[in-house]
C-alpha cells in the first residue's frame, strides 16, 4: 500500500533526524527496510561512480528494483558496462527504461533535438520515462553527493521530491576519495571511459573529456550553463543552469506575447 504523502516534509525531517549520524551503508540498509520509507527503487546511470551504490545494494538487498534509463544516446561502453555489472553483482531486478517511441518519433524524429534544446531532449528521454517508471514506488535511491556542485552542497539523506515521493541519497556525505577507496578496496570494475578522461558520463552527444584541473562535471553539456539533466527537483523546481541566450530570448518573447 502506498505511503500517505499528506505530511511528507515532516516525515523527511524525522527521517533525517533519525539517521543523521548513520553511515551510508546504515542509511541504505535501514531505508530499504524502514516502513516509514516505503518501497524504493534504485535509479542508476551505470556511469563513472555508479558501481559504488550498485555494489552496496547488491550486498544489502540484491532484489531491489534497479531502473536504468537508456536514452538510446548512451556510449556503447556504458551499455556494455551495464551488462557487466548486472552479471557481476547479481542484481536480480534491473529494469531498462526508455522513452515512448511515439514521443521520440514526434519530438525528435531525426535524433538531433539535443543540438537545439538539451533540456527538451533530456525531458523526453529521461524525465518522462523515469516519472512513468517510478509510479507505484514510494521513493527512489540516488547516487548524488554534496561535493558534486553548488546545487547539491546542502544535500540531505532524505528529500521531499515536490510532494510526490521520497528521494534517498545514501552517499550524500561521501567525498571523491571515499568513492575511489571503496572501488579499489572492493575490486570493482570501473567504467571504461574513466581511463579516457571522462569522470562524469552521460549521453554521448553531450559528454566530453575533462582536462586535468577542471571540475569533474565540466564535460557535461559543456559551455551551455546546464548542470542537471532535469530528473532532480529542488524546492519544487527542476535544477538547471541558465538558459542559453537563444532559448532565453525565445522564452522572453513568448512571455511578452502571452
Cβ atoms of 114 and 203 closer than 8 Å:
yes
Domain that holds residue 221: 8-257
Identify the bridge partners of residue 196 per DSSP, sorted by sequence position.
none
CATH code (residue 83): 3.40.50.620
Question: For residue 117, how many other CB atoms are within 10 A of its CB?
Answer: 17
Residue 2 counted as domain residue = no
Residue 3 counted as domain residue = no
Count the domains in the chain.
1
The alpha carbons of the chain give a radius of gyration, in whole angstroms, of 18
Residue 113 counted as domain residue = yes
Residue 29 counted as domain residue = yes
Contacts of 255 (CB under 8 A, 6+ apart): none
pLDDT of residue 248: 39
Of 68, 67, 41, 238, which Cα lies nearest the Cα of 139?
A: 41
Contacts of 8 (CB under 8 A, 6+ apart): 160, 163, 166
What pTM, to 2 d.p., does this model score? 0.82
Residue 135 counted as domain residue = yes
Q: How far apart are CA 162 and CA 238, in angstroms?
A: 10
Residue of 121, 122, 203, 229 marked active site: 229
Give the DSSP H or E segment for 38: none
Residue 238 counted as domain residue = yes
pLDDT of residue 242: 33
pLDDT in tens, the chain (258 residues): 556 666 888 989 999 999 988 999 999 998 998 888 899 999 999 999 999 999 999 999 999 999 999 999 999 999 999 999 999 999 989 999 999 999 999 999 999 999 998 889 999 999 999 999 999 899 999 988 877 655 556 788 999 988 889 999 999 888 889 999 999 999 999 999 999 999 989 999 999 999 988 888 888 888 776 666 655 544 444 443 333 333 334 334 333 333
Respond yes or no: is residue 203 known to be catalytic: no
Residue 21 counted as domain residue = yes
Residue 141 counted as domain residue = yes
Amino acid at each position: 500500500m502506498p505511503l500517505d504523502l499528506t505530511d511528507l516534509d515532516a516525515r523527511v525531517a524525522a527521517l533525517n533526524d533519525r539517521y543523521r549520524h548513520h553511515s551510508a551503508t546504515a542509511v541504505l540498509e535501514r531505508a530499504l527496510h524502514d516502513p516509514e520509507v516505503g518501497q524504493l527503487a534504485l535509479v542508476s546511470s551505470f556511469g563513472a561512480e555508479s558501481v559504488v551504490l550498485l555494489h552496496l545494494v547488491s550486498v544489502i538487498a540484491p532484489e531491489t528494483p534497479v531502473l536504468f534509463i537508456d536514452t538510446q544516446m548512451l556510449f556503447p561502453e556504458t551499455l556494455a558496462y551495464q551488462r557487466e555489472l548486472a552479471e557481476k553483482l547479481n542484481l536480480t531486478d534491473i529494469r531498462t527504461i526508455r522513452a515512448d517511441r511515439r514521443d521520440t518519433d514526434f519530438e525528435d524524429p531525426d535524433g538531433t533535438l539535443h543540438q537545439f534544446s538539451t533540456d527538451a531532449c533530456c525531458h523526453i528521454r529521461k524525465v518522462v520515462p523515469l516519472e512513468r517508471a517510478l509510479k507505484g514506488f514510494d521513493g527512489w535511491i540516488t547516487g548524488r553527493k554534496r561535493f558534486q556542485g553548488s546545487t547539491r552542497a546542502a544535500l540531505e539523506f532524505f528529500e521531499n521530491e515536490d510532494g510526490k515521493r521520497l528521494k534517498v541519497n545514501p552517499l550524500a556525505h561521501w567525498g571523491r576519495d571515499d568513492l575511489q577507496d571503496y572501488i579499489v578496496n572492493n575490486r570493482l570494475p570501473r567504467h571504461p571511459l574513466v581511463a579516457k578522461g571522462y569522470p562524469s558520463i552521460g549521453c554521448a552527444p553531450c559528454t566530453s573529456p575533462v582536462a586535468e584541473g577542471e571540475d569533474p562535471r565540466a564535460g557535461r553539456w559543456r559551455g551551455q550553463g546546464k548542470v542537471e539533466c532535469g530528473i532532480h527537483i529542488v524546492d519544487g523546481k527542476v535544477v538547471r543552469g541558465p538558459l542559453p541566450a537563444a532559448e532565453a530570448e525565445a522564452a522572453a518573447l513568448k512571455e511578452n506575447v502571452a
